[in-house]
Structure formats: C-alpha cells, structure tokens
Chains A and B, each alone.
Chain A
Amino acid sequence: MRRSRRLWGPTVVMTSLALALAACGGGSGSSAGAGETNPDGAVSVYGTEPQNALVPTNINDLGGTKAIQVMFATLVGFKGADAKPFNLMADSITTTDSKVYDIKIKQGWKFHDGTEVKAHNFIDAWNYGAYAPNGQLNTDFFSNIQGYKDVHPADENAKPATDKMSGLVQKSDYEFQVTLDAPFSVFDIKVGYQAFAPLPDAFFKDPKGFEQHPIGNGPMKFVSRTPNQDIKLTRFDDYKGDDKVHFKDLDIKIYSSQETAYQDLLSGRLDFMEALPPSAVAGGKYKADLGDRLVTGHLLEISTIAVPYYVPGYSNNLELRKAISLAIDRAQITKTVMNDTYVPADGYIAPGIPGARPGVCQFCKFDPAAAKEAFAKSGFKGKLTIASNADGGRKEPLTAACNSIKNTLGVECDFVPATDFGQWRSIVTGKKLTGMGRSDWSADYPSIEDFLNPIYKTGGSSNDSSYSNPQVDAILAQADATADKDAAVKLYQQAEDLVAKDLPSIPVWSEKGVAAKSKNLKSAALDFRRMPDYPSIEVLKK
C-alpha cells in the first residue's frame, strides 16, 4: 500500500498538469476530490455492444474500442487532454524521408498469455489486417504501406497473390522497417490508432478461440464477456507502459438505454459515462444533477454542414455558401439549443490539434448584413434543406441552424430527417443528397492531416461534398511528403486556407465532450476519442 502510494506521486503531478493544460484549452478536466484512494478498486463504465469480435483490426465503433483501447498497447500512445503523442511500445521511430520508417520496440513487454511482444507480432497483425479475404473493417489504415495492393487488390473478386506486404521487413526480434508507397509524414502518429496493435501468435493459431478470449498487451486483460450484458477486464500486473491503470477491475456495462445508465450513475451504481442522455442535457439539467461530478473533456471533433457539389442550384455557387455560413448564429445555438455542450467552430480543424488556428474561416461568423448581401449576389431561387439522421439529438441544432438561415435570409429552409445513422450514411455515400447534409468528423488519431486528407482530397474516403480542388490535392501531397513536422503542419494549414475560401462545407460547431463520473471516483477524465481516459481514473476508498 505504502509502496503504491509512492508510485502515485508522479501520476498526481501529471494529472494536475493535464488539468492545467485542459483548463487552458477551454475544458476543465475533472475535479480531483479529497479522500483516500483505493488502488485495488473496481470501476464500471457505460458501454454498448461491440459491433464486431474484439480484434483490433476489426473494431472501430465506440463500444468495442472502449475495451480494445485498454487491452492493447500500440507503438504510440496519446497523453492527456491535448492528446500529445509519445512512444509507448516503440523505443524509437525514425525516418529520413517520411517513406521508410525504422521502428525499434521496447524489450521485455509481454502479452497477457506470457509470450513476449516481438517485431513479428506487429508485422503479422498488420498483414492480417490488410489481407483482403480477412475482410477486416480497418483495412484502409494499412493502405499506404508498400505492397498493400498485392494483398488487397482493388478488384474485390480477385484473389490476392500473396498475404504479406513487401513494405514490412523484420530486422531483428525488436526492430522492423516499414516502407510506404509514398512519403507520409504523419505515419508515426497514425500508428497510435488501435488497428496497429500487435497480435500474439495465439491469434493466428486459433482466431475463433481468440475471439472468445482475446489476448492483448495492454494495461488490462480480458476476463469475460456476456453479450448484451458486460465485458469484464482486470489489471495486467506485468504491464510496462506509462499508461498503467490505478484500479484493479473494470466492468464495461452494456445498457440499452442511456437514461437508465444515467440514473445508475447518479445513484453510484455506474462510475463513468462518456456522454449524457438528451434528457439530462435539455435545459442544462446536467449541471445541477452532477455538480463536481461533471467531467468536461476536449473531443477532437468538428461538425460541419456539407454543401455537395453535385446538387443543382448549390454547385459552384460560392456566394450562396457564404450567405448560408454567415447566416448561422453559432454562438446562440450552441448556448441555448446545445446547452453549452458544444462551442462555435470557425475552422476545419478541431481546436486542440497542433496546427489548428482560430478564425481560419472568415465567413464562419454571424453577420446578417453580409449574409443578405451575399445571398442577393448568389441569385439562388427555391428552398434550402439540411438533411441528417434525426436520432441522438442531431435534429434540434440543425433545425435551429435552418431557422437562423430562414430568419436572416428570408429563404425557406427545412430539416430533412433520415430514420437512422445507417440510412443517413447510405444516402451520403451513395451521393443522393438533394441539399445540404450534416458532415461530422472525429479524429482517429490527433493530427491535422486526419482532418484534411479523408474529407477534402479528391476522392477522399469521407469527402461528403464531392469537393475537388487540384491545388488542395497538390499541397496535401506535398505536406504528406514533408518529413519536418513543423513544415508539414504549415503546408496542411495552407491547404486548410484554400478549403476555407471554397467553403465545400460550412464549419458550425465543435463538441466539448461532457461526461460524468460517480461519487465513487476521485478523478476521471475524458480522452479525445470520447472514451474514458483509463489511466486518469482513481477510485475512492469506501
């Protein structure tokens, strides 16, 4: 007990540092209350049923990530409120040209089954994730490694010639080399994403058995899982990383209703929720309910309204896009409709990402006079629409945005609901929008690159507005190829400036991330992915 208290010294300092940083960034982190902590305490967090089996290359939903995240340790971790990358399993990641990366891993790290983590565990896992017949959800993350096209042909019916990417070469037990198709300066941050986790030999011997009992290399190991009920984890005492957890047992409790979970949280039966139910947010009720148990984080997320280039009437009408953007009263909507759970956005990069600047989008402010002027120039006739899935509290703010546009410009504006997220996404990916559409983005890894390449590059995986500007493409490619981090960020910023001039989508707001902890926890923080920041959780002694 005494020994572990001593170990906690640095953690407390780190936590307070993180808190101070969070305060600068606009959030307030979590308040650390008084009282003794219990290093062997149990913690329960709100969960949802994972969409796939708990294999890192096949999980990208919040429910599954919540378990995967703490069961696996990747090469790079992200620390604290500003998600600063640090070497976790990697001893060093070096490159001279952003194309060939030399990765050394730390020695002596173990999987939960006792086998040591070696370079081949990374290579095998990445090859598995990329190999087309395995049908892994996160396969695209490997697509810029050399040889990806051989294991994952563009034609989905073609049989891959090999199951190994030529870009992955083992140098020794603890060193391997990754060669990319084209230079990509952000690769050393990207490998912090969960899909890049190593997999033990046991996985390749018996994948089905592994799905029943996953074996990771992270701070917590798998105990049991009851579908629709819970996932139980316990501390892995041999863990060597800097992101150790300060409690023993974790119970990810699966709820069918957020409202019920919130009741449980208030009565102390549930310890952490990363989001609040709409009924608690309405009227700012959560502030009174939670008091000092409110946890505010800093999500790396941005909400925009995409203006598709393929919709007649909207296409190539820059004045119209300006008019719409200038007509939305972001400050008022975030305050009254969203009850301070969002902040107004005036750029394309989530605040908090290195390289994000305030005021990049000069049309992202409420200016009725300028809006009317631009609208008159646009010559737009007819009706405006904003489409989105209507569930999960999406409808109200967008309806408010529509009303704001209607009142300012005197043009009809309607919210068009889709039944659920699935239907909504099939409309967007099928390019079937008939007006504007909600287009939100949250970071997979904390880099300015992740907010530009997938969304604004020609043919990008989430380019909802079908935006294409050769100049932007060229600058993005140049930034990808720039090894020097600062220089790369500058180039990405140039690309953002160009995007802001074209307004392919209109930034509206950015989510703060409002979470809650129970009275059983001394401290808890929310990380940039809207997940409990496990290392920050401390349990009060009963």
Chain B
Amino acid sequence: MTRYVLRRLLQLIPVFFGTTFLIYVLVWAVPGDPFSGKCGQTACPSAYIAQMTEKFHLNDNLFVQYLKYLGSLFTGDWGETFNGTSVGELIATSYPITLRLAVIAVVIEALIGLTAGVLTGLRGKGFLDNLVLVSTTFLISLPVFVTAIVLQLALGGNGLGLIEASVSEDPSVGELIVPGLALGSLSMAYVARLARTSIAENRRADYVRTAIAKGQPQSRVVGVHLLRNSVIPVLTFLGTDLGALMGGAIVTEGVFNINGLGGLIFRGIQNRESATVVGVVVLLVLVYLLMSLIVDLLYAVLDPRIRYD
C-alpha cells in the first residue's frame, strides 16, 4: 500500500512538468501582442511596453521563459498579473470559495443523483424510471451556462425572488446552493444514469441472491451488499469530477459573479493575463491528480478484492 502510494506520488513529478510546460507554451504562444489593446484608441507608449516586456521576460525564448517561471514557482512566487497583483494572493483568496462551491455541487450530485439512480435501478421500468430518464436527458442536453442563467432569472429578483443575482463577497453555503445546483446539474444526470445501470446489473448478482437467501433484511441487502459494490464506478466519476468542477466553475462563477478560481481563469483569458492562467491551471492539474489518487485508494476500502502491491 505504502509503495503504491509512493509510486503514484512519484508519477506526479513528470506529469507536473509535462503539463506545466504544455500549458505555459500554449498560453504564451497565443499570437498577438498582449499590450495592443491596453491603451484604448492610441498605441501604448514604448517605455511602458519595454518595461512590461522586461518584467515578464517576453524577450527570452519560450523555453528560457518557462525555466524562469518554474524557478520562481519553486521559491513560492506564482508571478504577477499585468496590474501588479500577486497571482499567489489571487489564488489564495479565490480557492476556498471555489472549493466550497465544488463540494456543494458534489454533495448535490451525490444526494440527488444517487437517490434517483438507486430508486430507478431497484424498481426497473415504470413511471419513475421514465421520469428520471427524460429529466436526465434534458439536463445533459443543456449547456451549463443555460442552466445557470435560467436558474438565475427564474429564482432571482425579477422571477420568484428567492435568490440574488450575484452572491456576496464571502458567500455562505446557503447562497451557493443554487450556483452549486447549476454547476452540478450535468454530472448529477450522469451519476443517476451510472448508479441506475450499476444497481440494475448487480441486483441479479450471485452475492445478492445469496444474501437474500440467507434471510438478511431488505435494507441490509440493498444498503451494504448491493450499494457498496455498485457505487465504485459512481465514486470514480465523483472523485475526478471534483477536480473537473473546480475548473468547470468558469461559467457558473461568471454568471453568479463568484470570485473563485473559475472567474480567475475567465478573466485571465479575457485580459491575456497569462501568468494567472498558467498558475491556476497548474493548481487544477495538481488537484485533479490528487483526486484520482484518492479515488484509487478508496477502491480498496470498498472492494476487498482490490489490492495494491
């Protein structure tokens, strides 16, 4: 087990360098002059451009730039945006909000998605099954920004008046429920589908029949034997989804004006703040890798047949 974890952690190193290099090159290699639109209808003064070029090492070739970036990254310096704000600080203020939002989304996904999946998986065909099928198809076909804006307009001040159009500076859990619902809606549909299929398959498995034959109560058969085995694919999905949600929050955070990582990336791309984009994406890559590691380790807990040696 320890060896497995160590091996996985060591694998993170090449992945980290590979992804950061790719991201760095992709972001900075975008054609065009990052300062061309900065000064309105007039061209920027050359003194300003010279100073910024110097500051962001734009005169060096891309590889040297990347090495300089890595160098400062290892001293804990995430770089600066064009307006002189430290990217590290930006990330530090925004990640707790995004994390909160992502966790809420995952909880909503898990609760609603799993319940719907288990109920339909156990009952089989019928009205409820059709209802879930239709509603999940509907959710999957909607892009997140549509879901988010519809929720905002319908529940906001000009609709039912249940929520505000934007969340406050340091949003409470209550305020984040609707954005979380929008963010998690797509995955919620997938979770319901996955759980339904998995339960339906395992319902006829030998070990379930044995458990029933032993005279175990229905609740124990479903809760312990059936659910524990069926939940593995769902868990894989949920785990990696938490990483995806942190990045996928770009749209939702934009709509509800949440000052999180998604918003940072969004603004970074808009204003060509390459340092911000690279920094946040590097962070997301790390989150993603760690989440998949944790999910892999959880398998062993759920399924005793899985061993890591």
Residues of A in contact with B (beta carbons under 8 Å apart): 49-53, 60-61, 132-137, 139-140, 152, 156, 211, 226-230, 255-257, 259-261, 263-264, 266-269, 420-426, 429, 439-442, 454, 461-462, 464
Contacts and interface: CB of A to CB of B under 8 A. Distances in A.
Contacts of A429: 36, 43
Contacts of B257: 255-257, 260-261, 264
A225 to B, nearest CB: 9
Contacts of A135: 45, 47-52
Contacts of B32: 422-423, 426
Contacts of A266: 157-158
Contacts, number: 144
A260 B259 contact: no
Contacts of A49: 83, 267, 271
Nearest to A53: B84
B248 interface: no
A257 B270 CA distance: 12
14 contacts: A51-B38, A137-B45, A137-B48, A226-B259, A227-B93, A228-B263, A256-B254, A260-B165, A263-B153, A266-B158, A420-B37, A422-B272, A461-B42, A461-B43
A221 B41 CA distance: 30
A264 B254 contact: no
Interface string B54-82: 00000000000000000000000000011
B83 A133 contact: no
A267 B51 CA distance: 44
Contacts of A257: 254-255, 257
Contact of A230 (B36, B153, B169): B169
A156 B54 CA distance: 13
A81 to B, nearest CB: 23
Give the interface SS of chain B, mostly helix, strand, loop or mixed.
Answer: loop
Interface of B: 32-34, 36-52, 81-85, 89-90, 93-94, 149, 152-153, 156-158, 164-166, 169, 253-257, 259, 263-264, 266-267, 270-272
Nearest to A262: B165
Contacts of A255: 166, 257
B84 A211 contact: yes
A132 B47 contact: yes
Contacts of B85: 227
Contacts of A230: 169
Given A228-B263, A426-B32, A267 B37 contact: no
Q: Which 7 A-B pairs have the closest CB atoms?
A: A135-B51, A267-B157, A422-B37, A263-B165, A426-B36, A421-B37, A132-B47
A425 B264 CA distance: 24
A28 B73 CA distance: 54
Contacts of B84: 52-53, 211
Contacts of B47: 132-136, 139, 152, 156
Contact of B166 (A50, A263, A421): A263
Nearest to A420: B37
Contacts of B43: 425, 429, 461
Contacts of A268: 157
B259 A229 contact: yes
Nearest to A422: B37
A53 B51 CA distance: 14
A211 B39 CA distance: 20
B300 to A, nearest CB: 41
A425 B36 contact: yes
A493 to B, nearest CB: 23
Nearest to A211: B84
Contacts of A422: 32-34, 36-38, 272
A137 to B, nearest CB: 5
B221 to A, nearest CB: 49
Nearest to B250: A256
Contact of B83 (A53, A229, A440): A53
